[in-house]
């Protein structure tokens, strides 16, 4: 079973849900009315945090699950937890100013890459044997 990976998946979804709520709160605080997508830097940063998280979920989640299935649930979950930490660091940094988003972005990108390479390697190894 893949209980740890399931837990990390649920935590990642919770984080994304939080970024969505943050966009709504930012709309109210900055007065940016829907459907506008710009108008205040604080809102624009909140929106980009949510969208960037969404943009990475289709890379992260399949890689996480394929790594868990073909290699290790515990290691997938640990790397997935690093991804979540990276997204939180990204959220905090980018919320302050756009120039501070880099460290969190790098952490989550490296975690995603590790999961993808690990999954690809495990699948390729199984195909070869």
Q: Can you tell me which residue has the tokens 């972005």?
A: 105
DSSP state letter for 97:
-
Q: Are 68 and 77 in contact (CB under 8 A)?
A: yes
Total tally of structural domains belonging to the chain: 1
Q: pTM value?
A: 0.97
Q: Can you tell me which residue has the tokens 């209980």?
A: 3
What DSSP line would sit under 21-40, residue for residue?
Answer: HHHHHHHHHHT--TT---S-
114 contact partners, CB below 8 Å, separation of at least 6: 79
Q: How confident is the prediction along the chain (129 residues), in pLDDT tens digits per residue?
A: 999 999 999 999 999 999 999 999 999 999 999 999 999 999 999 999 999 999 999 999 999 999 999 999 999 999 999 999 999 999 999 999 999 999 999 999 999 999 999 999 999 999 999
Task: Give the domain extent around 30.
Answer: 3-128
Q: Can you tell me which residue has the tokens 């998946």?
A: 9
CATH code: domain of residue 21: 1.20.120.550
């Amino acid at each position: 079973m893949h209980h740890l990976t399931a837990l990390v998946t649920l935590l990642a979804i919770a984080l994304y849900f939080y970024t969505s709520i943050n966009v709504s709160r930012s709309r109210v605080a900055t007065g940016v009315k829907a459907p506008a997508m710009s108008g205040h830097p604080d809102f624009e940063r909140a929106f980009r945090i949510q969208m960037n998280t969404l943009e990475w979920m289709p890379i992260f989640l399949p890689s996480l699950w394929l790594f868990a299935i073909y290699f290790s649930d515990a290691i997938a979950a640990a790397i997935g937890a690093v991804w979540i930490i990276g997204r939180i660091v990204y959220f905090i940094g980018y919320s302050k100013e756009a120039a501070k988003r880099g460290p969190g972005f790098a952490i989550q990108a490296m975690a995603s890459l590790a999961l993808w390479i690990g999954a690809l390697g495990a699948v390729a190894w199984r195909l070869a044997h």
